[in-house]
Amino acid sequence: MALLKAWPKSSLNLLVFAVMLSESPEPVNLEPLPRWILMGQNFSLRCQVWGGKPRQNLTMALFRGPQELSRQAVSEQGPGKAAEVTFTATASREDHGVNFSCRAELDLRARGLGLYQKSSAPMELHTFALGTPRLIVPKHLEVGKKETVSCEIDKLFPVENAQIHLSLGGRSLSPTVVRGQDMLRATAIVIIAEGEKEGQRELTCNVTLADHDREVQENLTVYKSRRDPVPIVMGVLLALGLAAMAGAIATLCLWQNLRKGSYQPQTLPLQDRTPMETPETGPKGPSPVASA
Ligand SMILES: *[C@@H]1O[C@H](CO)[C@@H](O)[C@H](O)[C@H]1NC(C)=O
Ligand SMILES: *[C@@H]1O[C@H](CO)[C@@H](O)[C@H](O)[C@H]1NC(C)=O
Ligand SMILES: *[C@@H]1O[C@H](CO)[C@@H](O)[C@H](O)[C@H]1NC(C)=O
Ligand SMILES: *[C@@H]1O[C@H](CO)[C@@H](O)[C@H](O)[C@H]1NC(C)=O
Ligand SMILES: *[C@@H]1O[C@H](CO)[C@@H](O)[C@H](O)[C@H]1NC(C)=O
């Protein structure tokens, strides 16, 4: 102290400044962060400074762009060590693409000296948000028929950095992608080729952003349409109905003939199967009724 007082102020100024600068070629250092930070997540920014003595007059401030976020005094640390301060902040949308920096300030004005400032190199922050994609798909895919499958994701930021992929049964689809406000939608038309097997196909949608990805899958059932299964059933029912009706008519005619007392089996209208059949075998069906 006695030595300091003995020096002329301007020379001392120069001396302190020289000491600050000479102690390290990079006096203030902001520790690098992961390239992308999830929005809402807390992150720590560690700032180190070499030199800057006396330490009790040293403070460090964290800046977002030109805005000062916080300020801390540097606690006393071992001689020869870098002074270090850790700031904690919560990643927000506003932080995206903004330069953060840290500034060391050695305030010696109380001693009649100056205010010495030194800033770190700026560091650009990248923040992101990534929701969960959801599939909008039919449960079943008919072979040979066009179907639309789509995948949508919201709570997505920044949309321009996101990629969306759709694949079906391990094969990539080429969807049409629509980008909206914080959302992305991929839509593809799929046709299962004739000759492909029936069964389960896994539809996968994955969205990648900022070295992260979100994936969603669903199993779709591929089936071949049975050739008109409904008309077959109806045809059978119709045939049964006709046969029953024919039987009823035949029985009625037979009964009427019996009442008239002129039973002539050969004239029965029921000539089912082959008309070539001999007349004797013709009245097969209603014969038990006739004999009754
Ligand atoms: C982030 O930090 C704030 C205070 O700094 C705290 O209230 C909050 O719970 C923290 N959030 C997480 C996700 O750790
Ligand atoms: C600098 O440190 C000295 C000694 O601790 C203290 O008396 C003085 O108030 C400090 N000045 C500032 C501006 O902090
Ligand atoms: C952030 O800093 C870099 C390097 O100095 C600069 O190129 C860039 O323009 C800055 N970005 C903003 C948003 O100020
Ligand atoms: C997402 O899809 C891309 C392209 O199909 C692929 O390269 C990547 O591995 C997929 N990610 C995951 C987690 O499956
Ligand atoms: C789809 O089916 C396969 C095999 O049957 C099964 O391993 C897989 O977990 C299923 N995936 C989903 C999303 O249900």
* Homologous superfamily (CATH) for 2-128: Immunoglobulins (2.60.40.10)
108 CA → ligand 2 middle, Å: 7
> Domain limits of the chain?
2-128, 134-223
pLDDT at 243: 72
Name the residue with the closest Cα to ligand 4, atom 11: 206
**Whether the predicted model's global pTM rises above the 0.75 cut:** no
Ligand 2 pocket: which residues have CB below 6 Å? 56-57, 107, 110
pLDDT at 245: 73
pLDDT at 16: 53
Which ligand sits nearest to residue 200's alpha carbon? 5
pLDDT at 252: 63
* Homologous superfamily (CATH) for 134-223: Immunoglobulins (2.60.40.10)
Ligand 5 pocket: which residues have CB below 6 Å? 200, 202, 217-219
Q: Confirm if 31 and 46 have CB atoms less than 8 A apart.
A: yes
Cα distance between residue 12 and residue 7, in whole Å: 6
Cα distance between residue 18 and residue 24, in whole Å: 11
Per-block average pLDDT, block size 10, for the chain (292 residues)?
47 52 59 93 92 85 94 77 89 95 91 89 95 96 95 96 96 96 96 91 96 95 77 62 69 63 50 48 44 40
Question: Which atom of ligand 1 is nearest the CA belonging to 90?
Answer: 1
pLDDT at 51: 79
Which ligand sits nearest to residue 199's alpha carbon? 5
Q: Mind giving me the DSSP string for 228-284? A: -HHHHHHHHHHHHHHHHHHHHHHHHHHHHHHHHT---GGG-S---S-TTS-TTTTTT
pLDDT at 176: 97
70 lines ligand 1 (CB under 6 A): no
pLDDT at 21: 43
Q: In which residue are the tokens 């689809």 written? A: 173
- Of 22, 21, 67, 72, give the one whose Cα is nearest residue 47: 72
291 SS3 class = helix
Q: In which residue are the tokens 């952003």 written? A: 209
Name the residue with the closest Cα to ligand 1, atom 10: 42
203 CA → ligand 5 middle, Å: 10
Question: Which atom of ligand 2 is nearest the CA belonging to 54?
Answer: 2
- Same CATH fold, 134-223 and 2-128? yes
pLDDT at 230: 58
Q: If 0-12 CB within 10 Å is exposed, 13-18 middle and 19+ buried, where does residue 36 land?
A: middle
Question: Which atom of ligand 4 is nearest the CA belonging to 167?
Answer: 5
Cα distance between residue 271 and residue 268, in whole Å: 7
Name the residue with the closest Cα to ligand 1, atom 14: 42
Q: If 0-12 CB within 10 Å is exposed, 13-18 middle and 19+ buried, where does residue 220 land?
A: buried
pLDDT at 227: 65
